[in-house]
């Protein structure tokens, strides 16, 4: 039996694991959270720091995870929404301005479209020449030099200016990832940046309006996305993750990687090892991660200024005392995210590791969150352009 119209498949290809979620929405309540009717997981092979190093290997991993999800939901999977992450992701802000076109100087959707197109033209060629734009997010509009709250359509003015956040991905990385899905016989319906997908199920509207940062601590990378006024204003990916903690423990304690991983997760036997030494090793590497985050917040003038604080997700966020260390280092409120799933969750013991995957399902099964990010997606082009950008980002 084929999957119905009210279902969506999300696939998250991480450095450590490939995860698949099959979500089903309630047609009678489009704003309800999707029910999970299938899930699958497999070890990632052929990928490092988010870069595909072997297309054949990662294609096999995708097929393995998809096969598990097919068995759990009882239906074949041929199409999916996927995430892209890793150090190939990037973000840059650009500005554009145009003269209004109507004789009475009233601003139209066309003027907004032209202003955003101008901002794209202003992107430095040295930055954009090997990248593809994944998301285009207007951050601010000005009419005749005055900042406008909300949509400028219908206002009158001679000059319209826009400030835009572009989230991009290295072209060759994205092409390799798409090739892997093609080899796995999965049609890619759309691509979403991992931090955005994760934010949909880990952050509340209240947090995003007040100002917060989501940190997804993965195996080999840590991605952050900063929200203010319900809009993503900055994104960054660092080439450091929870595997670095495991490696430090293995070296510091002279034990195997497997034993170090168990100790990091709190499931291994400490035995003859000093608990204090273990904590010192873990804290030292976590401090490196939070120092990078603090440096980024300083660059965008948000250090110590996000009332809703830092919310942590991903496999590396489950380390004991991580909340307190983040609070002290960043001088911000700190908490670990917790997701609540409904449905078939037998493969999903650690919910924070599934945030990206579940976010992909939510993005494409509800009529509010997804629409805000789809326009100007590289895979949607400009044809579905502007109206939905001016809805709030979440219900």
Query: How many whole angstroms separate alpha carbon 273 and alpha carbon 281?
Result: 12
105-122 confidence digits (pLDDT tens) = 999 999 999 999 999 999
Per-residue pLDDT tens over the stretch 248-266: 999 999 999 999 988 887 7
DSSP string of 208-272, one letter each residue: HHH-EEEEEE-SS-EEEEEEETTEEEEEEEES--HHHHHHHHHHHHT--HHHHHHHHHT-S--TT
Q: What is the pLDDT at residue 345?
A: 56
Domain ranges, ordered by start, for the chain: 7-86+171-202+340-390, 89-169, 207-336
Is 375:388 a contact under the CB 8 Å cutoff? Answer: yes
Domain 207-336: homologous superfamily in CATH? ATPase, nucleotide binding domain (3.30.420.40)
- The model's pLDDT over 284-340, given as tens digits with 9 standing for 90+, comes to 999 999 999 999 999 999 999 999 999 999 888 888 789 999 999 999 999 998 776
Span 89-169 CATH architecture: 2-Layer Sandwich (3.30)
Average pLDDT over residues 264-274: 78
Fold classified for 7-86+171-202+340-390: Nucleotidyltransferase; domain 5 (3.30.420)
Determine contact, residues 80/191, Cβ cutoff 8 Å.
Answer: no
Separation between Cα atoms, residue 177 and residue 51, nearest integer Å: 8
- Per cent of the chain over pLDDT 90 is 68
**pTM (2 decimals)?**
0.87
Task: Report, as an integer, the average pLDDT of 349-357.
Answer: 78
Residue 244 predicted with pLDDT over 50: yes
pLDDT at 197: 93
Equal CATH topology for 7-86+171-202+340-390 and 89-169: no
pLDDT at 387: 30
């Amino acid at each position: 039996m084929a999957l119905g119209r009210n279902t969506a498949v999300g696939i998250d290809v991480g450095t450590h694991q490939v995860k698949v979620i099959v979500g089903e929405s309630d047609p009678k309540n489009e704003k309800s959270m999707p029910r999970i009717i299938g899930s699958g997981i497999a070890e990632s092979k052929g990928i490092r720091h988010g870069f595909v190093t072997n297309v054949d290997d990662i294609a096999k991993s995708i097929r393995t995870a998809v096969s598990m999800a097919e068995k759990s939901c009882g239906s074949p999977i041929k199409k999916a929404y996927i995430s892209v992450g890793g150090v190939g992701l990037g973000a840059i802000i650009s500005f554009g301005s145009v003269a209004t076109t109507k004789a009475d100087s009233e601003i139209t959707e066309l003027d907004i479209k032209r202003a955003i197109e101008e901002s794209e033209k202003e992107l430095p060629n040295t930055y954009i020449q090997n990248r593809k734009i994944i998301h285009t997010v207007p951050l601010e509009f000005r009419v005749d030099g005055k900042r406008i709250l909300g949509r400028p359509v219908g206002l009158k003015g001679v000059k319209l200016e826009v400030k835009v956040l572009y989230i991009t991905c290295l072209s060759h990385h994205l092409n390799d990832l798409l090739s892997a899905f093609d080899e796995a016989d999965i049609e890619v319906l759309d691509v979403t940046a991992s931090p955005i997908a994760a934010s949909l199920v880990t952050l509340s509207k209240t947090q995003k309006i007040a100002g917060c940062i989501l940190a997804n601590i993965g195996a080999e990378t840590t991605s952050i996305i900063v929200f203010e006024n319900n809009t993503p204003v900055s994104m960054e990916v660092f080439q450091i993750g929870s595997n670095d903690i495991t490696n430090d423990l293995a070296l510091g304690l002279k034990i195997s990687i497997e034993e170090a991983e168990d100790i990091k997760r709190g499931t291994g036997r400490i035995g003859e090892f000093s608990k204090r030494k273990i904590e010192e090793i873990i804290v030292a590497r976590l401090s490196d991660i939070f120092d990078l985050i603090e440096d980024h917040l300083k660059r965008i003038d948000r250090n110590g200024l996000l009332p809703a604080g830092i919310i942590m997700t991903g496999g590396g966020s489950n380390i004991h005392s991580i909340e307190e260390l983040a609070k002290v280092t960043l001088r911000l409120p700190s908490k670990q995210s917790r997701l609540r799933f409904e449905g078939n969750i037998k493969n999903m013991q650690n919910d924070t590791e599934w945030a990206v995957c579940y976010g992909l399902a939510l993005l494409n099964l509800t009529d509010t969150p997804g629409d805000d990010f789809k326009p100007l997606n590289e895979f949607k082009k400009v044809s579905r352009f502007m109206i939905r950008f001016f809805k709030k980002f979440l219900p």
